[in-house]
Structure 1
Amino acid sequence: MFRKISLVCLALIASPAIGELPATYKYGTNLGGWLLSEPWMKPVEWAAIGGEYCPADSASCAASEWGLARKLGQKAANEAFLKHWQSWFNQDHVNQLKALKLDHVRIPLGFWIVEELVEAPAELYAQGGWMELKRGLRQLRDAGFHVTLDMHAMPGVSTSNQQFAGNVTSDVQFYKDHNYQRALTWGAVLASMSHLDPDFSSVVAIQCLNEPLTDANLTPGLEQYYSDFVTVTRVVEYAIGVECEADLRESIHRLSRSKNGMVALRAAIPLIVTYAGKAKVVVDPKILDSLKRSSASPSPVVTAPVPVETTIITATSRSSVSAAGIPTEGDSECRSPRINPTNSHQKCSISRVSRACLATMAMPKRWQWKGNGNSMVNHTLGPAAYDDHLYFAYGGVAEPNIKSYISTMCTIPHYQAAKKLGEEPYGHGEFSIAVNFNATHDDLRAWGDAQRFMYNQEHYWTFWTFRLGQVLEPNLTQSYTETWSYLGAVEAGVWPRDPSQYYNPSICAPFINPTSNSSKADLPGPQLNQTKQH
């Protein structure tokens, strides 16, 4: 059975805060290890599906997604990873995170989730992840979470010798036109599905790159990639008819000057049709025609998007479609997932429902501390956001003791520096409470308090990560799960069940106000023990 629905209602109503992340995007965690495996996080589970763990030289064994797929072969890899995807993150985990009052998640992805981008036989990765992404997004949407899709593992590998890159290698090839183009095509598919596929209706941002090389001299073309990512995202949204605080016609002009953007968009058009089909959505020819004209003309041709309609198959097995509140002809209500995915409805006619532009997200300029760092700030068009990462456990930030950790964190100037550059909204999309010294539980509570105190002044924070698996070395199990796993830290009593609360709300007082005599600010001290949560 086919029912006509308007694309305007198929996507989303704008968030109350147009031009930035939703105000309710505040406390979150990463879904690390799910659709992009990092064997260090779950060596026992990794070994169970055929993987290997060789921490001294991860490139020498099946210690990455590429390495394991190459070892198993395509069919066996598909089967092994499907079992992993279904067990590593499921409805039980959604329920646990919801009970802990979190409001968003960041989902690290590898480019191979859009399987057509994989260049076999040189590249080999498990297939089938897209439908698992849809399943997880559907569960998160129904629970009321906001979602950032994180382009974590890039075509050609963007960071050397890292499991999160998908292939552990020193041969970094991402920073070249061909792989920039593949990444932009990937981004165009994610952007279009965030508006066309009801399962994606809780997506509020797409991050275009995770942790580029810190030496800007080794990343030629990166700032142009940031610009092109914004351009391609907005061209897609303009073609669909998304409302935005910015004039999206400017994206068409920008595209006409972007070689990589035009190549990427041409490659994305058939993929948009393919992936819309996975959602049982038929894309209106007017949208495709708009995209084709935008990517084919060497000079800008800007015409206003016309109201379009499309069709969706509403078979009984697609209960998620009706659960998403997608209105059909004659319906008088449109669900507004970006305002409140669980219970918010707004009376609307098809002609007056609007959708919000996605936030284009990148890491801040300070991440590339060698050379002249790259930033997205001069290339934004519409809402943007900046995602910083900071880990003390690897050394080089503070002395290995709790007092140095706290004093350094409470006076760290990164947010102020980002604001001066205009990199807002700004937050920390990765951090943990791991340390490089023997810490007591009181130490960890104090360390978590200091980070929450500072990061709560920013727009958001997103802990790394939501869970860990079994660890091979028994003596490491406790310290790993208590400091790298959100669920593990809460269970251990070193992180509060309510993320807005502190064990010691005055943790930074001695450093913000050195004359303070508050007993609550002792590091660590009796006050922490008295306020311990169970």
Structure 2
Amino acid sequence: MKRILAGLVLSSMLVAHACAGQATPIYGVNLGSWLVLEPWMLPQGWLDMGGQSCAQNCSTCISTESSFAKAYPDTVDTTFAKHWDTWFTQDDVNTLKAAGINTVRVPLGYWIVEALVDRSHESYPRGGLNYLRRGLGWLKDAGIQAILDHHALPGVQTPGQMFTGNCTSEVQFYTPYNYHRALVWTAVMTALSHLDPDFGSVFAIEAINEPIMNATKTPNYGTFQKNFVQVIRAVELILGIFVPSSGLSLSVSPSVSTNFTAALSATSSASIFPVEVQAALLDAVPILLEIGVECGLQAIFETSPFKPSRTSLVANFMDVNWQYDNPSNPADVAIGPQAYDNHLYYSFGGVADADPKSYMTSICNLQRVQADAKVGDSPLWFGEWGLPTQFNATDEFLYKWADAQKLTYSKSAGWIYWNFKTEISTLTNGNALARQWSYLEGLKLGFFTQDPAALHDPNVCAPYINSTTHSTSS
């Protein structure tokens, strides 16, 4: 069994059934700037909170949650509580449900698990877990499923980005210490996903959002991928949850069969788990005990018989083609349900020439789903995309641009738009920002259909199929 856990590789056919337990195709939105705030999406709101706007470099002013927490240590928690309470609400859930959205991707920072923050040199707002639990409860009641996206990793996974929570050029995620913290985070989130009733909408956990594309700069990332999967499956085995297509099982002593944290502690040292996985499971125990007290989950964690009524979670990775220079393939570490994520934005360049015809030709002939399938990264969904362009797009073009992207992404397991909303204010020139970045504003403007599965023009791509244009990526 140790050999199977350490090296089991599912065939692409087995992996293709990873999404059997959730809604397909996925029609989704990201809940960006809720629990990982990105000031560009709410510039006036950020200034009102006390943040700053950096002209060019986001590392030079108060532009992230980390810099904000360091600048306002006495008020940061109260300030962010107001933001968490208002940016994503029950009304938003009702609106998304009415719009036919069946999935949300929830960007999270590692600091949502507060015990993982090294307060000697790291500062982040506290209290977000309670708002996550409340929001997930709303989504569960609405029948909308959720992906927990580890969006901002300990040590920062890519340089110079607001979405990491700490805009810095010092990337330190790809180290044993921070890999370990991410695995502990994974163990905690897996346990909550299976045991906390408020997490009942969660069907997948994403290991890391947008790692550095050059694989030579992400040492041992492949080992982290393997350990990430095994942490999820270890927690599930301890809970007695069936892992499809794996043939795995684990016996838990009757003496701890009504105390999950005790079972996790007792079983973490089982030789079937690699040493790094054992350490992550063990370090998750006191954190879960603390969360149990704070969130009123002691009975579920410590005195309730295991009731494996939930299905095995989908382990979610950015696809292998996200990286270059001999990247590790997450398909090689699959145990049980697994799925893959790709992000595509034309507005940052490098995809197609900046004109309407080139954009349409590129998207209508996109081969990313096929390329991933060839290397076993299937099912694939597009976890981030949007309407922004590098040119002044007319409304007429945006109708076509929305249709063409939805049509293309529907060839995968589905799509998740970035973002569910953005600010509309003087600083965003009215709805100029929301017009291309907010799904709900795009719906109001008619770029998106009320039924997310529908298109204005099902033949939108016909004039562009097999056309040629200047592009740098497919």
TM-score (norm 1): 0.78
Contact 1:27/1:462 (<8 A) preserved: yes
RMSD, aligned CA: 2.1
> Judging changes above 3 Å, is the alpha-carbon distance between structure 1 residues 427 and 358 closer, same or farther for their aligned structure 2 residues?
same
| Number of residue pairs the alignment of both structures matches | 433
CA offsets 1:331-354 (integer angstroms, 9 cap, x no match): xxxxxxxxxxxxxxxxxxx7xx74
Matched, 1:357 2:374: no
Matched, 1:80 2:73: no
Q: Secondary structure at the match of 2:59?
A: helix
Once the two structures are TM-superposed, the CA of residue 254 in structure 1 deviates from its matched residue by 10
Selected match of 2:443 from 483, 490, 496: 490
> Judging changes above 3 Å, is the alpha-carbon distance between structure 1 residues 285 and 489 closer, same or farther for their aligned structure 2 residues?
closer
TM-score (norm 2): 0.87
Give the aligned residue type for 2:394.
Answer: T
Correspondence list, 1:183-222, <5 A = 183-222=182-221
1:69 paired residue number: 69
> Judging changes above 3 Å, is the alpha-carbon distance between structure 1 residues 470 and 69 closer, same or farther for their aligned structure 2 residues?
farther
> Judging changes above 3 Å, is the alpha-carbon distance between structure 1 residues 25 and 272 closer, same or farther for their aligned structure 2 residues?
farther
2:431 paired residue number: 478
Correspondence list, 1:255-294, <5 A = 256=272, 258-277=274-293, 278-283=295-300
Once the two structures are TM-superposed, the CA of residue 248 in structure 1 deviates from its matched residue by 3.1
Matched, 1:309 2:305: yes
> Judging changes above 3 Å, is the alpha-carbon distance between structure 1 residues 19 and 505 closer, same or farther for their aligned structure 2 residues?
closer
> Judging changes above 3 Å, is the alpha-carbon distance between structure 1 residues 22 and 257 closer, same or farther for their aligned structure 2 residues?
closer
Contact 2:340/2:379 (<8 A) preserved: yes
Q: Give 1 or 2 for the bigger CA radius of gyration.
A: 1
Please list every run of 5 or more consecutive structure 2 residues that lacks an aligned counterpart in the other structure: 1-16, 251-266, 468-474
CA offsets 1:235-289 (integer angstroms, 9 cap, x no match): 0011111122123349989975633322211111222223234242435669xxx
CA offsets 1:281-316 (integer angstroms, 9 cap, x no match): 435669xxxxxxxxxxxxxxxxxxxxx717xxxxxx
Correspondence list, 1:368-447, <5 A = 368-369=323-324, 371-447=325-401
For 2:289 and 2:25, the matched residues in 1 are separated by 31
1:248 paired residue number: 248
Contact 1:284/1:309 (<8 A) preserved: no
Once the two structures are TM-superposed, the CA of residue 396 in structure 1 deviates from its matched residue by 1.2
Contact 2:341/2:383 (<8 A) preserved: yes
Q: Secondary structure at the match of 1:274?
A: helix
Once the two structures are TM-superposed, the CA of residue 25 in structure 1 deviates from its matched residue by 5.2
Matched, 1:449 2:403: yes
CA offsets 1:366-421 (integer angstroms, 9 cap, x no match): 1113x112221010110001010000001111111111101100111110011111
Contact 2:418/2:438 (<8 A) preserved: yes
> Judging changes above 3 Å, is the alpha-carbon distance between structure 1 residues 133 and 257 closer, same or farther for their aligned structure 2 residues?
closer
Contact 1:407/1:511 (<8 A) preserved: yes
Correspondence list, 1:310-349, <5 A = none
Once the two structures are TM-superposed, the CA of residue 22 in structure 1 deviates from its matched residue by 1.4
Give the aligned residue type for 2:305.
Answer: E
Which range is displaced more, 455-464 or 505-514? 505-514
Q: Secondary structure at the match of 1:53?
A: coil
% identical equivalent positions: 39
For 2:209 and 2:43, the matched residues in 1 are separated by 23
Give the aligned residue type for 1:153.
Answer: A
CA offsets 1:65-117 (integer angstroms, 9 cap, x no match): 001111111x3000000000000000110011111011010000000000000
> Judging changes above 3 Å, is the alpha-carbon distance between structure 1 residues 512 and 413 closer, same or farther for their aligned structure 2 residues?
same
CA offsets 1:438-477 (integer angstroms, 9 cap, x no match): 11001111111110001111111000000001455454x4
> Judging changes above 3 Å, is the alpha-carbon distance between structure 1 residues 513 and 62 closer, same or farther for their aligned structure 2 residues?
closer
Matched, 1:127 2:81: no
Contact 2:23/2:102 (<8 A) preserved: no
> Judging changes above 3 Å, is the alpha-carbon distance between structure 1 residues 257 and 22 closer, same or farther for their aligned structure 2 residues?
closer
For 1:493 and 1:210, the matched residues in 2 are separated by 30
> Judging changes above 3 Å, is the alpha-carbon distance between structure 1 residues 360 and 279 closer, same or farther for their aligned structure 2 residues?
farther
> Judging changes above 3 Å, is the alpha-carbon distance between structure 1 residues 432 and 18 closer, same or farther for their aligned structure 2 residues?
closer
Contact 1:385/1:425 (<8 A) preserved: yes
Once the two structures are TM-superposed, the CA of residue 220 in structure 1 deviates from its matched residue by 0.3
For 2:426 and 2:453, the matched residues in 1 are separated by 34
Give the aligned residue type for 1:226.
Answer: Q
Matched, 1:33 2:33: yes
Contact 2:18/2:339 (<8 A) preserved: no
